[in-house]
Structure 1
Amino acid sequence: MALCSNYATPFMKQCFVTFGVTLKMAGHGAAVGFTAVLLPQLRKSNSAINIDDSTGSWIASILSFAFIIGNFTSSILMGIYGRKIANLVSIVPMIIGWVCIVFATNMPFLLTARVLQGLSIGMGVTLGPVLISEYSSPKYRGAFLMSISVKIAIGVLTVHTLGSYLKWQTTAVIYAVITVVDFIIVACSPESPSWLADHGKYEESKRVFRWLRGSDEECELERMIEASKAVRESRSSNKLNRSLQSKMEEYFTNFFKILRKKEFYKPIFIMAHVYTISQWGGVNLFAAYAVDVFNNIIGDDFDIPLLIISVDAQRIISNALAVYIITKIRRRTLLSTTVGIGIFAFLSIATYSYLREMKIFNNSIVAIILIHIHMFSIAAGTLPFCYIISGELFPLEYRSFASAISVIFHSMNFFIMVKTVPFLFNTIGLHGTYCVYAGIIAYCLVVLFIFLPETKDRTLQEIEEEFKGLSGGLGVSRGKADESTSFI
């Protein structure tokens, strides 16, 4: 905090603290996208580490095994020791992972490095959206959360570009340095005011909140403090004059009560489907298997590395456009539009791929256009949407735990999707695989159409109160209430 001038505006301060979070997410994108340049280099005959399709899929998908460990580790750390400490701890495995990759000479060493990276990603997926949502004002929150996907896209583009022209060890060195810089930025950022309030540090919470937000959002600060005090008083009264046995009985009783609370299970149910869309929407096809995908759709008629870079660049442009769009339109409108485009792209590419395989129609320009349409749907909606919603839905009291549970669906979908790509391509072809993906995200869209509330321009407290069924959660006007039941 001391590094930021007293003359900096609240917006500039929010940009600084969220940059530390999103730069880490860029490293996550680089770690996932690294396989797209690593695997082709390892397949060469002169490679020190020899791989086949099976070992290659493990290199790409083993990240997900560490997701769950990192996910729950992060939820414990961010709940007990604070968001900042958890954020710092989450960066360390990524640094070690990149260093291990630099010196990897065999498959076990390389897989260990990937597990460390997966541990870091698992921690960040839970922590990043929560921390950004607690740092930022409602009017900027959507854009800041959307910037997560922009940074991930930048990470993927950078690693694909570097890996196309440099050895994979050199690329790993560059990202190790970037990750160290991110650690320094996070170390200079303050603790979350929401966490401080939840742990009874009200004066410090007020100081940090006003440092971040200025003096124009006192109403949200007061509501946050009042809600935190009520929760802490309830906890304190339950802890008095209890034996160990009664405390354990009460713990399990309360645990099952929590599972039945609407403000707990509804956001988890919603996020399970949001994460399914984000993973099966195609982002990891382009990140981890870009060469294989383009070879299946287009063949070797084009410069594949250049085509990959162009798609990655378009992803960044679409992400940046979405940062602006999300400040103007409703969350549900964004979801329905971009997922609809994604379904169209999947089915169109599947049709083109089948016609090309049957030697009925073959036009590479058409294929490239369809690929770019598909990437637009991912970059402008299906991927960034999961980071926006995951930062807005969960109530403060259960934010760490509920986020951790929901991210299990993220890691499961990531593993299944990435691990099965070679198998599906070899059995039902790209056209069959894309039809399966289209069906999965279409199902999720229907579910979210029914259950997802509108969250744009609403405070986290208002969203929480709506899940609880309180009238205050409907916003300050009837117009906001209406948004939660309509896409348009």
Structure 2
Amino acid sequence: MELRDSSAYKPTVENVVEREGNKTARRDFRSQVTVVSACLLVGISFGMSLGHSAVLLPRLQAANSSLYVDEDTTSWIISLNAGAGPLGCLIGGTMIDHWGRRKICFLANIGLFLGGLLVCLAQRVPMLMSGKTIEGFFRSMVATSLTVLADELADPKFRGFTVCIVITFGSIGVMAITSLGTLWPWRRAAWVTTTVFLLSVLPLVLVSESPSWLARKGRLEEAARSLKWLWGPGREMEAEEDLAFLISRNNSTHRQSRSHQGFLKSCREFFTSRILKPFFILHFFNTIQIFCGFGIFTFYAVDILLKIREAGDKENSMDENFSAVIMSFVRIVGNATATLLMIRVGRRPLALISGVGITMSALTLGVVLILQSIQNISFGSDWLTLTLTVLFIWFHSFGFNQLTILMIGETQAAHVRGFACGYIYTINDIVLGGTLKFYHSLLRNLQIHGLFLMFGISCLICTIFVYFFLPETQGRTLEQIEDYFRQPNVMWVTRKKSTQSERTCEQSTTEVTTALDK
């Protein structure tokens, strides 16, 4: 079948929309297992890098440390580690659109290894800072490239499961480095982390490049091979239909880029409502969560748990290092629960349950800490504060933490997906880096109870925003999600109530037919 023959593949577009809308055909199970398996070690690597600072810096501040750093220096190390992320996100987002998702993910993991190697060999603080900065830069590049790659390779029904299980293994990486950092000297733990960075490069050779990216670049033979690999043996017709569908959706965009006004049209295209609506909805959803506390807790877990312990019954309280290991395990349980539910339950229910749970646990913990510190009320042990902290972490891991990563790649339009994801991650890392730099000042002014009250209020605002604006994407193809944002509504609650599959089939077929007839 000649794919460029419009009379031949107009029906194929209808077949693809109908097939995906009715959820009657699924990509090959073996290819999906390969995609998940290849991403798991990258997820562990990312998690170990993310959680390393929380256990590294308390060890460096110890009196017997081989490389002593003071409180101000630790804030610089953490802020540089997080603050290098914006550049990594922005450059990574641009690079994956030009050179491919898998290739940049591969190179980013090598860079992560080089940064970890500098940390392991550091004998002076500047070398340690350089290593953590490089590590933060490439960690953000890994996050950007891996998110988009997993979104575009995964079957629509299991896309949430695929991305979320990678996030779950990221949490396993956090728990692994938290445990190792608690039990071992910091340099030995750093060597283990760096070894994992290197090993995470190997599984990426098993997966294919994104067929969506290959088709947009005109590399149709490679896109066809990628789709055949995703669909498996004996499913050549489905692969051809998908390729025809990708070609047809990119047809008008390619035609505009070849015209003399292509650049100006491309710029104007970015500022259309169908691009800006998902961009700003996910932008706000991600940025407000920095003040919901999960990122701050990840980098300063041991210190925050120590402050909670000091506010209560210190003698009968659990050691903060052991508590940090417990919180890492709770994070895994929350991620795993959401991963299993993601196959059947929509994004919105998970987000709303998560938001309400975080809000209640954070505000209650803040009130309890006020009673303990101001009125000197003792609850006899740390069971209440520990339980509330566990709930705070579990509800974060159950919804918000998963969905911010998953839905960035899902909702952005295909031709700006890399740039949009990179930009959102960039701004998030800038805000997070600044917040981490001023964490100690924030803690001195608000105290530990005020910090959790701030987390709770921020999460309440985020939950209200989710209810009104966040769209449901579970079970929909990336093309169907993109078509939703072509509708005139901004808020999800004011959307049209017509059947999604009927609307998508009619709209997609009309657009493609128009593009082919030009």
Q: Same fold (TM over 0.5)?
A: yes
Equivalent residue in structure 2 for 1:142, among 160, 164, 188: 160
Counterpart AA for 2:416: Y
2:484 matches 1:455: no
Equivalent residue in structure 2 for 1:293, among 286, 292, 304: 304
Equivalent residue in structure 2 for 1:188, among 192, 202, 206: 206
Q: Which residue of 2 aligns with 1:360?
A: 377
Equivalent residue in structure 1 for 2:252, among 230, 233, 238: 230
User: For the residues of structure 2 that align with 1:284 and 1:235, how far apart are their CA atoms?
Assistant: 40
Closer, same or farther in 2 for the Cα pair 1:412/1:440, shift >3 Å?
farther
Counterpart AA for 1:361: S
Q: How does 1:84-483 map to 2 (within 5 A)?
A: 84-214=102-232, 215=235, 218=239, 220-236=242-258, 238=259, 242=260, 251=263, 253-254=264-265, 256-299=267-310, 300=314, 301-358=317-374, 359-362=376-379, 363-469=381-487, 475-477=500-502
User: For the residues of structure 2 that align with 1:81 and 1:264, how far apart are their CA atoms?
Assistant: 22
SS of structure 1 residue aligned to 2:476: coil
SS of structure 2 residue aligned to 1:468: coil
TM-superposition CA deviations, 1:414-442 (whole Å, max 9, x none): 21332232212211101111112222222
- Would the aligned equivalents of 1:67 and 1:121 in 2 still touch at CA under 8 Å? yes
Equivalent residue in structure 1 for 2:47, among 1, 5, 29: 29
Shift of 1:474: 6.7
Q: Which residue of 2 aligns with 1:4?
A: none
Runs of 4+ in structure 1 deviating by more than 6 angstroms, as ranges, are: 478-481
- Would the aligned equivalents of 1:273 and 1:448 in 2 still touch at CA under 8 Å? no
- Would the aligned equivalents of 1:10 and 1:212 in 2 still touch at CA under 8 Å? yes
User: For the residues of structure 2 that align with 1:254 and 1:415, how far apart are their CA atoms?
Assistant: 35
User: For the residues of structure 2 that align with 1:140 and 1:17, how far apart are their CA atoms?
Assistant: 11
- Would the aligned equivalents of 1:66 and 1:119 in 2 still touch at CA under 8 Å? yes
User: For the residues of structure 1 that align with 2:41 and 2:369, how far apart are their CA atoms?
Assistant: 37
TM-superposition CA deviations, 1:177-228 (whole Å, max 9, x none): 1121111111332211111111112232122112113438555544223112
Aligned length: 461
Larger Rg belongs to: 2
Q: Which residue of 1 aligns with 2:67?
A: 49
- Would the aligned equivalents of 1:264 and 1:402 in 2 still touch at CA under 8 Å? no
Q: Which residue of 2 aligns with 1:6?
A: none
User: For the residues of structure 2 that align with 1:409 and 1:441, how far apart are their CA atoms?
Assistant: 19
Counterpart AA for 2:275: F
Counterpart AA for 1:284: G
TM-superposition CA deviations, 1:155-180 (whole Å, max 9, x none): 11000000011111111111221121
Shift of 1:380: 0.5
- Would the aligned equivalents of 2:256 and 2:265 in 1 still touch at CA under 8 Å? no
User: For the residues of structure 2 that align with 1:282 and 1:480, how far apart are their CA atoms?
Assistant: 41
| TM-score normalised by L of structure 1 | 0.89
User: For the residues of structure 1 that align with 2:426 and 2:456, how far apart are their CA atoms?
Assistant: 22
Shift of 1:25: 3.0
Closer, same or farther in 2 for the Cα pair 1:418/1:342, shift >3 Å?
same
User: For the residues of structure 2 that align with 1:77 and 1:210, how far apart are their CA atoms?
Assistant: 26
Closer, same or farther in 2 for the Cα pair 1:382/1:186, shift >3 Å?
same
Counterpart AA for 1:311: M
Shift of 1:144: 0.8
Shift of 1:478: 7.2
Closer, same or farther in 2 for the Cα pair 1:132/1:357, shift >3 Å?
same
Between 20-29 and 370-379, report the one with greater CA deviation.
20-29
TM-superposition CA deviations, 1:212-255 (whole Å, max 9, x none): 1343855554422311233223322x1xxx5xxxx7xx63x335
- Would the aligned equivalents of 1:42 and 1:51 in 2 still touch at CA under 8 Å? yes
SS of structure 1 residue aligned to 2:209: coil
Closer, same or farther in 2 for the Cα pair 1:479/1:429, shift >3 Å?
farther
User: For the residues of structure 2 that align with 1:88 and 1:413, how far apart are their CA atoms?
Assistant: 27
- Would the aligned equivalents of 2:413 and 2:482 in 1 still touch at CA under 8 Å? yes
- Would the aligned equivalents of 1:77 and 1:85 in 2 still touch at CA under 8 Å? no
Shift of 1:29: 2.0
User: For the residues of structure 1 that align with 2:247 and 2:52, how far apart are their CA atoms?
Assistant: 43
Counterpart AA for 1:295: L
Counterpart AA for 1:377: F
Shift of 1:462: 0.7
User: For the residues of structure 2 that align with 1:474 and 1:131, how far apart are their CA atoms?
Assistant: 29
- Would the aligned equivalents of 2:87 and 2:426 in 1 still touch at CA under 8 Å? no
- Would the aligned equivalents of 1:268 and 1:405 in 2 still touch at CA under 8 Å? no
Counterpart AA for 2:377: I
User: For the residues of structure 2 that align with 1:367 and 1:152, how far apart are their CA atoms?
Assistant: 26
Counterpart AA for 1:169: R
- Would the aligned equivalents of 2:480 and 2:504 in 1 still touch at CA under 8 Å? no
User: For the residues of structure 2 that align with 1:422 and 1:319, how far apart are their CA atoms?
Assistant: 29
Between 424-433 and 338-347, report the one with greater CA deviation.
424-433
Counterpart AA for 1:306: F
- Would the aligned equivalents of 1:25 and 1:124 in 2 still touch at CA under 8 Å? no
Quote the RMSD (CA, aligned, Å): 2.3
